[in-house]
Structure formats: structure tokens, C-alpha cells
Structure 1
Amino acid sequence: MPPFRTVAAYVPPGAGMLAVGIVAEVFAPHGEAAPGFDFALCGDRPGTVPTDVGVPIAVDRGLDGLTAADLVLVLPGAGFRDPPAPAVLDALTAAHGRGALIAAHCVGAFTLAAAGLLDGLRATTHWRFAGLLARTHPRVTVEPDALYLDEGRISTGAGAAAGFDLCLHLLRREHGAAMANTIARDMVLPSHRDGGQTQYLAAPVPEDGRDGPLAEVLAWAREHLHEPLPVAELARRAMMSKRSFARRFAAATGTTPHAWLRELRLSGAEELLETTDLPVEEIARRVGYGSAAVLREQFVRRRGVPPRAYRRAFTRASGPSDRARGSLPDRG
């Protein structure tokens, strides 16, 4: 299937205003490299929908807006403990049946579970309500610590700002790293957080490097990605012992320095494969891998395809936003 172009977000009564803002911003135009999507907010019916902050928002479409969208997003609402209206469940089931991608974050996952769309799958939600989701929907394998989970045509994300991570992941998966990175930079967000990263970070490290020695070292690492970057060197630059650096890094980011660097290198390789004609050997050098063989091994293990197959899959057809999934593996 081609990457999604039309996006419909279901806005339930008592919708989270943050969630509405997240999806509206992510799928809005962000310049030439990310010209935006055919995006619509949908409710039970056209009109106004109350939100969790007491300010109603206007939705242009009713549930019919979900019928033709390539990507259907289910936003969290205040009444998630109650059974959704049958018309909502029917609309989501019909969208899934015709092949749409379906995603929800935070307590929006309860609506997907009520529709039976998460049966037999892994799913996540806001950590505070993960136990409730597991108890009320025992056919769903709930993973409370995951930032987001991709089960092919169904994806779920954690609470609050993790909606950004889920949306950026779907953009990266379907449209490539270049578009996802462009949008992330425009919104001053981390370009990528792995789905297995913990939901609750004690002290998230900003991308701009203005929050102490650790953030400054991470900003330096991004500028020197072509170098080996052993943890001992990063710790020295942060003026910490290696053990203290690893502990502080895990507390701040929810992952290890090795995993962070690996994702940074692979994301950089993805963008170069999509946007340049550089040989794979040169791309490997620029992102800090010793050889094309090492890059290929990591790429196959983490992305499921070799670099050249990835490049073929995301070659621009006629413009910055025209991509074909080509030889990417079928996601179900």
C-alpha cells in the first residue's frame, strides 16, 4: 500500500486538548519537505465537542470522516471508562476492515480495545491506566512501560506527550526519516525516541543542549556522529565518571548511551539514504560505522531491511512528499 495521505482524528467528548493539539500540529504543513496532509477532526457528529479544559472545539466531520481516511487516529477522552457508542465502534471496525491504519494514544487505546481491534495484540496506554486496560480487556497484552507499540496496521502510544512520539514513528515508518525529522525539528522535538523507551522520564534531556553538561555533550555527539564516540569519552566531556554518566543518562533519557547512539546513527543513515545518492560505504562513514557491512548488519537487525532496499523503498517519485513503500516488508 502507498503511504497515507488522508488523516482523520476521532475527537470523543471530553477530549484531551493536548492530544488535539498534537495531531493538528504534526499533520499540518511544515515547509516544502513536509507539505501537510488532508487532515480532519471528526466527532460523533459535526459541531462542537467539549474538551478536558472546558473549551469546546469545532469538528467539521462526523463519523463518516473516518470512512475514507488512510490513517485513523483515536484521541483520548474523559469518558474512556464507559463503553463507546456502537456507531463509533462500527466506524472503527469498518475503517480497519477496508485497510486503514489505526492508531490511538493514551486512553484512546480503550476505544480500540472495546472495538476488539487489540485482541491478541500488544498495546500500551498511559501508565496510570495500564492495569485497568489489562483487567477490562484480558485478550489484550498490555505493556505498561512502552512509549508506543507498532503492531502493523494497529499502533498504540503512551500518555500525554507520547502522542508526538507515536505520530512521528508512523511518519517515519510510512514516509521516511527525512519527513519525520523535518517535522520534529520544526516543533523543537527529539527526532526519534524508540518505542521501548520508558514512558516516565525523570528529567528529559532537551535537544538544544542548553540544560547542563549532559545536554551539551549530547549536542556535541550529534555534531561528531562520524567519530567512534565511546562512552568513556562522552563521560569525560561531561566531567563525570563513566558509571555516573551512565546512571545520569539512564535517569534523563530512559535508555543507555549505546542505545541512544545506535538510534541516532540509524536515523542519520535513513535520512542520507532517502535524500542523497551517496554510496552506502560513505553513509556508513558519515554516521560513525566502520564499514558498510556493519551498517548493513545493524540496519537489517533494527529496521528489517538492508540499506539499499530501504533506499529503493523510499526513493522520491516526483517530489519531496512522494514516496513508495516498495520493498519494505508487509506490515499486515
Structure 2
Amino acid sequence: MRTVAVLAYEGISPFHLSVPSLVFGRIGAEGRAPYEVRVCAERAGTLTTPAGFDIGVKHGLATFEWAETIVIPSWIRGAGISDDLRAALHDAHGRGTRIVGLCLGAWAVAASGLADGREITTHWSAATELARAYPAVRVRADTLWSDLGDIITSAGVAAALDCCLHLVRHDLGSRAATELARALVTAPHRSGSQAQYIPVAIPDAADDDPIEHAMVWARTHLGDPIDLDHWARIALMSRRTFTRRFRDRTGSSPQQWLLHQRTDRARLLLESTDDTMDRIAADTGFGTAVSLRHHFHRILGTSPAAHRNSFRPAHAAVGGGREAAARAAPRGR
């Protein structure tokens, strides 16, 4: 069983505190939790919250010595960290403990100095202020989460769920993360490189949205050549109108969106099947293994082979073949 310490503090939001417990502790989900989760604080005792009730915390910072992963689910905007907490984080990091800062928890990560000269992600509304406060850290506001291996940070609450599910996928494999996401009624995977916020109005009736209809159609034809003119006709629009409306709806061009969908399907097949690179390239519309490797590396920052190796060796039982991949693949409404 893996061990996770979740850091609470005076004034923490119970909602933020619940996210790592929901994911790692499988609270409300069936099945035995593969993680043991302990909530701790700098000093054990009672903490007040803005929700109108208090939280009793049994464990202190000594919990860090027990944990393989430390999660800071949020932080007080603009606040630093104590010398005791900084020392405890450095000691844990030196032992190889994974440090995770969710949402404004990235503020505590930056204050620790562990991310100096490196890149972290936080909620878009705090990014500029955080970058000014800690100029040695490169702050991202345009991604959902970032994984440096030893330090993982994310944007707001929904992105924090994505980030925690990403860690479950890394630790336990794609099937475990997908089953947990289904129990939580959330998306099984959103790439960390996905934009945090797109200023787009959501249609009142998605079923009547021609762009949504075209997106669903494309997801079910990823292995086929998709010509932009034909795709526009699916939406009953001219090519020019379709391109404009698609960008308004998604924040990207149809071609960019399609490339990310194909890459994500390839990622799923790499994790859950033993298919060759040529087969995966054909089934996802890339055509050749060379094209698959090029786009996969450009979008995800790693090669298909390296990505498969990071999931498959320790989790050979994940398996399930092409049927499992088909069940977990994105579907239309």
C-alpha cells in the first residue's frame, strides 16, 4: 500500500482538502483503497475552516517521514511557509518523497525553494502574483498540471482531480485510474498541457450544437482520413464558417483539436494494449509510426515507447487487450 500525507493548515478549505482523499483514499468509491492517506498539520490539533466547522487533525509533520507522497492541497495566497515546514519538505524531498502542490499549494512549493530554476503550474488567477513573489520559479498559468517527477503542481479544483488521477495512472495503470474516474463521475484523463481556461460560451442545448455534433463524429472516426471540407459538411457549414465556429467553441483550430484527440487515443492504446506502433498509428489516423512518434513527442514531450514503458512493466496485469481500450475510449453522447 502506498502512503500519502495531506497537509492541512489553519483556515484551509475543506473542499480542497477532500480532493486527495477522494482520489487516493477512494472515499465513496467501491473497492479497497491502494493508498493509505493521513491528514497532518504542522501541529496536531483543531483547525478552523471558512466552512463554519472545525477539523481535528491527529498527525503532525512527523507524518512526512512515513509518506511516499506529500500533497499540499491549497495554501494561503501571498503567505510563505514556516522554517519547520520548509525543513520537513526538504528532508522528505531528499529521501525521494514526491511533493504535490494542488492549486495554490504551488505557492507553498515555490516558498520551499524546491522548485527554484524549474517550472510549476498554479491557478491562472494567482500566477502573476506568484511569479513576482518567487522570481526563481517559472510559473505556468496555461496548463492544467505539470509533472517534474519529484514535484507535481496543478491549477484549480477540477485540475487538481485531473492531477491526482494522473498520479494514480502513473502508479497503478490506466485501468485503475479510469475505474476511479468513473466512480467520481469525472473525465478519466485530461492532458496536463490542456489550457486552464477558454473564454467560450457554452451552448444552452449541446445536442443542437453543430460543432459538438462534428466533434462527436470525429472522435468515432479517428482512424479514418478526416478532410476539413467533409468535416465542415457534417456540421452543415462552409469550411470557413466551420473553422471560425470551431475555434470559438474550443479555443483551437479543428486540425489542432483533432491532432490532440488522436494523440490521446494513441496514449490510451499504448497503456492498455500490446499493439505495435504501426497498428496504433493506423488506428489513430497518424498513418505511420514515424508520424505517430513525431506528434506524440511534440504534444506529450516523450516518445510512444517511453510512455508505454512507464506504465506497462510494473503493471502487466493492467492488460485487457483492445476490448479494454475500446471500453475506455472517448465516446459520443
Give the TM-score category using the shorter length: 0.7 to 0.9
**In the alignment, what sits opposite 1:265?**
262
**Deviation at residue 205 of structure 1 after TM alignment:** 7.1
CA RMSD of aligned residues (A): 3.2
C-alpha spacing 1:253/1:172, structure 2 compared with 1 (3 Å)? farther
**Deviation at residue 231 of structure 1 after TM alignment:** 4.0
d(CA) in 1 for partners of 2:257, 2:181 = 17
Number of aligned residue pairs: give it. Answer: 315
Question: Residue 72 of structure 2 is aligned with which of 57, 60, 74?
Answer: 74
> What does 1:1-332 align with in structure 2 at a 5 Å threshold?
5-29=2-26, 36-77=34-75, 79-203=76-200, 212-315=209-312, 317=314, 320=317
C-alpha spacing 1:276/1:161, structure 2 compared with 1 (3 Å)? closer
SS at match of 1:149: strand
Gaps of 5+ in 2: 320-333
Gaps of 5+ in 1: 323-332
Q: Which amino acid aligns with 1:275?
A: S
Q: Which amino acid aligns with 1:12?
A: Y
**Structure with the larger RCO, 1 or 2 (CA within 8 Å, 6+ apart):** 1
d(CA) in 2 for partners of 1:69, 1:204 = 43
d(CA) in 2 for partners of 1:9, 1:183 = 19
SS at match of 2:157: coil
d(CA) in 1 for partners of 2:213, 2:184 = 20
d(CA) in 2 for partners of 1:247, 1:68 = 53
Residues 103-159 of structure 1: per-residue CA shift (max 9 Å, x gap): 212221111121112211122322222222122212122233333233332222223
Structure 1 stretch displaced more, 6-15 or 40-49: 40-49
C-alpha spacing 1:63/1:219, structure 2 compared with 1 (3 Å)? farther
Structure 1 stretch displaced more, 174-183 or 222-231: 174-183
Structure 1 stretch displaced more, 196-205 or 66-75: 196-205
d(CA) in 2 for partners of 1:246, 1:171 = 36
d(CA) in 1 for partners of 2:145, 2:155 = 6
Q: Which amino acid aligns with 1:131?
A: T
Residues 194-216 of structure 1: per-residue CA shift (max 9 Å, x gap): 3343322334879xx75733333
Residues 298-322 of structure 1: per-residue CA shift (max 9 Å, x gap): 3344445543444344325466479
SS at match of 1:161: helix
**In the alignment, what sits opposite 1:328?**
none
| TM-score relative to the length of structure 2 | 0.79
C-alpha spacing 1:6/1:289, structure 2 compared with 1 (3 Å)? same
C-alpha spacing 1:313/1:109, structure 2 compared with 1 (3 Å)? closer
| TM-score relative to the length of structure 1 | 0.80
- Asked which structure has the greater CA Rg, the reply is 2
Q: Which amino acid aligns with 1:75?
A: P
Does the CA-based 8 Å contact 1:148-1:156 persist in structure 2? yes
